Structures are given as C-alpha cells and as structure tokens.
Amino acid sequence: MREAYHVELEQLADRLAAMSVQVADAMEQATKALLEADLGLAEQVISNDAKVDDARADCEEKAYALLALQAPVATDLRTVLAAIHAAESLERMGDLALHVAKAARRRHPEAVLPEAVRAYFAEMGTVAVRLARKTEQIIKTKDVEAARELETDDDQVDDIHRHLFTVLMNREWPHGVAAAVDVTLLGRFYERFADHAVSVARRMVFVVTGKMPGYGTSEDL
C-alpha cells in the first residue's frame, strides 16, 4: 500500500511537470503570435488553454483524494499541499499566455506592438519561457538551489517591465493611447507569468525544507 501511495505522489509531480511544459509552450507560441501577428498560432494557444484548465482540475482531484484517503504527514503532506498551490499557479500562467494570444488576435492583421518595444517583449518572452521550462525540472528534481536561482531570471523580467514604463512616459511617445494600453497590459502579463513560475519554485523549496521562502530569512528565494 505504501509503495502504491508513493507512486501516486510521483504521478502527481509528473502531472505538474507536464503542466509546466504546457504553459511554456503556450507562452512561446503566444509570444511568436504577438511578434509576428500570426493569427493561426494565436488561435492555437486560445484553443489549447482548456487543456491546461483540465490538467489543473486533474491535479487537484488527485491531490484531494490523497489527502482524504492517505492522511499524509510531514514531507508527504507538504508535497500534496504544494501540488495544489502549484497547479493553481501553473493554470494562471496558462491564462496569462492566453491573454497574450488574445491580444494578438484582437489586433490582427495589425501588429499589436510598436517597433520601439518589440525587442523588449521578445526578450521577456524568451525569459518567461525559460522560467517555465526550468520550473518543469525543479518539480522533477526538487532542486532547491535551482529553485533559488529562478529569482535571477525573474529579476530580468521585472527590470524590462519597469523600463517599459519609462518608454511609455516619454513625452515623445508617438503611438497613441491604445498602443500604450496594450503595452502596459502585455508587460503585466509577462511579469505575472514570471512571478507565478517563482511561486511554483518556492513550493518545491517548501516540500524539501519545510519552510516557505520569501518571508523574512536570509535563506529566502
């Protein structure tokens, strides 16, 4: 029975890792759709979002079943609780990729982004996808150091996001209010995507150490 139980825990982690792949692919495709005004790719991201929602529901169902039937304690309990929270964060990452794809679809056949900011979004997209792919490995390995290193990548997204505001606040911004609103919202989507990836990594640190990073110790993520 205990062996079967631990197999179920491993399967739960596998489901979370698979969700990380899904949302990484979604953001990669959504960013390409955004930069290239690719309607077909945007539609693909939009239609695939239901699969991410289904994956979250499946993870939560399995996790609650383990809580009810196995009454886990210590590390096992932390694993199940972390899975519930991580599934929520991963589903939100899928939603944020969806928002990017919808922006590309809404403005098609026109480009959403002015040329002046395209490079910033290309870089944010690259970093965001890298975060999600690293998250997959962290879920699989429970590598605490790798989880803590994710913060550096997140800082890159934060820095670009802040710089976008200086671009938008320039009096010589020539692209109008609608473009400024699009850039503001899209920048926020990428920034939140990265934050959720860090949140998942923190949950994995919690599983291993029993402490939730980010709350006032020198060892925080």
Q: How many CB atoms lie within 10 A of CB 118?
A: 14
Q: Which residues contact residue 117 at a Cβ distance below 8 angstroms, ignoring those fewer than 6 apart?
A: 164, 167, 183
Assess if residue 219 is contained within a domain.
no
Write down the pLDDT at residue 212: 81
Write down the pLDDT at residue 83: 96
Write down the pLDDT at residue 2: 63
Task: Measure the CA–CA gap between 64 and 42, rounded to whole angstroms.
Answer: 34
Assess if residue 47 is contained within a domain.
yes
Q: Which residues contact residue 44 at a Cβ distance below 8 angstroms, ignoring those fewer than 6 apart?
A: 29
Assess if residue 102 is contained within a domain.
yes
DSSP string over 33-96? HHHHT-HHHHHHHHHHHHHHHHHHHHHHHHHHHHHHHH---HHHHHHHHHHHHHHHHHHHHHHH
Assess if residue 118 is contained within a domain.
yes
Task: Measure the CA–CA gap between 50 and 66, rounded to whole angstroms.
Answer: 25
Assess if residue 215 is contained within a domain.
no
The sign of the CA dihedral 44, 137, 217, 73 is: positive
- The CATH number given to whatever domain includes residue 17 is 1.20.58.220
Assess if residue 220 is contained within a domain.
no
Structure tokens at 44: 């693909």
Assess if residue 214 is contained within a domain.
no
Q: How far is CA 46 from the centre of its chain?
A: 16
Q: What is the pLDDT along the chain (221 residues), one digit of tens a residue?
A: 567 778 999 999 999 999 999 999 999 999 999 999 999 999 999 999 999 999 999 999 999 999 998 888 899 999 999 999 999 999 999 999 999 999 999 999 999 999 999 999 999 999 999 999 999 999 999 999 999 999 888 999 999 999 999 999 888 899 999 999 999 999 999 999 999 999 999 999 999 999 888 644 333 43
Write down the pLDDT at residue 207: 94
- Total of domains in the chain: 1
Domain that holds residue 155: 2-209
Write down the pLDDT at residue 220: 40
How confident is the model over 2-56, as pLDDT tens digits? 677 789 999 999 999 999 999 999 999 999 999 999 999 999 999 999 999 999 9
Check if the beta carbon of residue 98 is closer than 8 Å to that of residue 46.
yes
Q: Which of 170, 163, 173, 45 is closest to 103 using CA atoms?
A: 45
Check if the beta carbon of residue 202 is closer than 8 Å to that of residue 214.
yes
**H helix and E strand count, the chain:** 6, 0
Question: Rounded to two decimals, what is the model's pTM?
Answer: 0.93
Assess if residue 25 is contained within a domain.
yes
